[in-house]
Amino acid sequence: MRQFILTDECYKCRGNVRALRPKELRELIGAKNDSIAFQVLCDNGGERCLLNPGASPALSYELGLTRYRVEVLCDFPAAIYAEGYLKDERGILTADILFESPQIYDGGLYAPAYIKLDIPSSARTGKYSITVNVYRAVGANDESLAASHSLPLTVYDFSMPSPKDFRCHLDLWQHNSNIARTYGVELWSDEHFAQIETVLSSLAELGQKSATVLAGDCPWRGWGCYLLKEYPATLFEYSMVRIRRDAEGKYFYDFSVLKRYIQLCEKYAIDGDITVYGLMGIWKNMPLFNGASIEDYPENLLIRYKDEADGCYKYMRTGAEIEEYIRALFAFFRENALFEKVRIGADEPADLSAYRENYERLRRIAPDLRFKMALDKTSAIERFSSEIDDIAASFPCSCRNRTLLREKKTAGKRVLWYICNIPDKPNSVLHSELTELRSLGALGYLFGFDGFLRWAYTCWTESPLEEIRYNNTSLPAGDVNFVYPAKNGKILYSLRYFALKKALQDYELLLLLSENGRADDAEKAVRFVLKNTNPESYMKDDFHTNEGIYSEDYEDYVRFRVFIFQLLERSK
């Protein structure tokens, strides 16, 4: 029996008999300068079918295949996507990729459409009606109307802030070498920068503030990708600085790629800081290139150059060479009035003694240098937080050290929090419920820090449109990305991307309430989403959280927004 269900934006379709049942959607709410979303689930009675989000004929080589076309009639621009399934680390098919092109679905799976409506700032306040039509056709026969639904929409008299104005210091790391590999273009070429700009544009839609740059090769040593062959990925990241040494042994440094990238980030208002990786915090637990060791330097940096004496590419082998390069790099930042924004980044360094020695060496070169560190241990926070300027603490560390970290913020440091492969939930990986992502906005406000960090945005596997699993023993599927590479050179959004965007908006709404003298109301709003507001009680152990932290009911997130919209309407 065929069914067509309208459900909320946070429902996640799965190929699993234990998947949650969708709840019927009855109304939509939004603000001006806002986007709202919902889903249409087509159940073809257990038979294969095709879902067409556009107006093309969409004929398939399976001539007898049922085709459904989704149409939306409303007063606002509507984008319709066909949702694509991928296997999570347990092998369960899970909807995530949003395609603009027709997709075929096996029997037993919903054929889901994600519909996004963009409400302009000029929209009239009040009630609207949205009509969703689903048309059915087989082969070259005429279409027939299979289902029609109407939804009421309420637009509140409040304008959502633009992402570029968000106060959350969003730091989603950029993996530009991976972008070049995935699209098959030369590293740092004009074609590569065209692809980079597409990615930066999507980051700007989230309110991204931090520019990720590399000044050395493979600081994370490729996350051990050369050791993991079951689900292949090439994850090496390379420096943006090109170096050559002439026949007399003199080094010349070309910072043009680095400058071009920073200027491109500035074009999209991604200019809150410039985090430089590859100079310290080099991962040692993933050995690489045993021959490329430095004689007298605390960490094994990979600084590549071309030796014009013999035409070979080589790596610097002495501390003196490394220091000369670093001085030239810092001079470039100063000459371009960028040094104040520079942070020398390190990600969960395991060898803290080597990090300490490197830190002191860099301080001698530039006493006014600033540092950023992602930390996942209380001992590391206690040891280094007084010396680093930007602290990013893991979710477990944030829960256990919230008071300490808020004191550091008060002392003038920028404090972020992050999720990665931990905790088990709330998280943003493929198996995560989308309400988990939505809860991140309220959690960020509750922590009281400056922003949010995530290590992977486009750290794609070899064939990300077919297989996003990688290192399943440590990284849940989807840990490596929020968007996907499209065949036309653009990117494909995901359900998780839009859920994250909503969470960041939620965080901004809470800040607006608080800054308008309504901190008590902000705390009331938080309780719609968070059922436990004591972070110290969140962790069961180092990896797992206790139950009952956040709401799993989408209606609570609607009540959260209605409550805030009504208050902000009145404050106008």
| Alpha-carbon Rg for the chain in angstroms | 25
Q: Which of 1-5, 365-369, 394-398 has the weakest average pLDDT?
A: 1-5
Q: How confident is the model at residue 286 (pLDDT cuts 50, 70, 90)?
A: low
For the chain, the first-to-last Cα distance in angstroms comes to 50
Q: Would you put residue 542 in left (φ > 0), alpha (ψ -120 to 50) or beta?
A: alpha
| Structure confidence at residue 381 (pLDDT) | 86
Q: What angle do CA 445, 416, 224 make, to 5 degrees?
A: 130
| Structure confidence at residue 248 (pLDDT) | 97
pLDDT at 119 > cutoff 90: yes
| Structure confidence at residue 291 (pLDDT) | 53
pLDDT at 289 > cutoff 60: no
Q: How confident is the model at residue 290 (pLDDT cuts 50, 70, 90)?
A: low
Strands 342-347 and 371-375: what pairing?
parallel
| Structure confidence at residue 295 (pLDDT) | 81
Amino acid letter, 16: N
Q: How far apart are CA 191 and CA 195, in angstroms?
A: 7
Q: Which of 7-11, 19-23, 109-113, 269-273 has the weakest average pLDDT?
A: 19-23
| Structure confidence at residue 385 (pLDDT) | 85
Q: Which of 428, 418, 437 is nearest to 557 (CA)?
A: 437
> Residue 299 CA to chain centroid, in angstroms?
29
| Structure confidence at residue 2 (pLDDT) | 86
Q: How far apart are CA 563 and CA 565, in angstroms?
A: 6
Q: Phi, psi at residue 484, to the nearest 5°?
A: -130, 155
> Residue 340 CA to chain centroid, in angstroms?
26
Q: How far apart are CA 39 and CA 86, in angstroms?
A: 18
| Structure confidence at residue 78 (pLDDT) | 97
Q: How confident is the model at residue 302 (pLDDT cuts 50, 70, 90)?
A: very high
Question: Can you name the residues that pair with 135 across neighbouring β-strands?
Answer: 69, 145
Q: What is the mean pLDDT of residues 320-347?
A: 97
Are 272 and 370 a contacting pair, CB within 8 Å?
no
Q: Which of 168-177, 348-357, 440-449, 511-520 has the weakest average pLDDT?
A: 348-357
Q: How confident is the model at residue 287 (pLDDT cuts 50, 70, 90)?
A: low
Per-residue buried b or exposed e for 268-301, using 16+ beta carbons within 10 Å of the residue's own CB: bebbbbbbbbbbbbbbeeeebeeebebeebbbbb
Q: Which of 9-23, 102-116, 539-553 has the weakest average pLDDT?
A: 9-23
Q: How confident is the model at residue 571 (pLDDT cuts 50, 70, 90)?
A: confident
| Structure confidence at residue 472 (pLDDT) | 80
Tell me which DSSP letter residue 2 carries.
E
Q: How confident is the model at residue 223 (pLDDT cuts 50, 70, 90)?
A: confident
- For 494-532, what is each residue's pLDDT tens digit? 999 999 999 999 999 999 999 999 999 999 999 999 999
pLDDT at 126 > cutoff 70: yes
Q: What is the mean pLDDT of residues 37-51?
A: 97
Q: What is the mean pLDDT of residues 447-470?
A: 97
Q: Which of 311, 308, 196, 330 is nearest to 263 (CA)?
A: 196
Q: How far apart are CA 279 and CA 512, in angstroms?
A: 38
- The whole-chain average pLDDT of the chain stands at 95
For the entire predicted model, the pTM comes to 0.97
Which secondary-structure segment (H or E) carries 81? strand 78-87
Q: Phi, psi at residue 311, to the nearest 5°?
A: 80, 5
Q: Which two tokens stand for residue 73?
A: 């009639």
Positive or negative, the CA dihedral 203, 209, 215, 218 is negative
Q: How confident is the model at residue 384 (pLDDT cuts 50, 70, 90)?
A: confident
pLDDT at 387 > cutoff 70: yes
Tell me which DSSP letter residue 243 carries.
E
Q: What is the mean pLDDT of residues 429-438?
A: 98
| Structure confidence at residue 434 (pLDDT) | 98
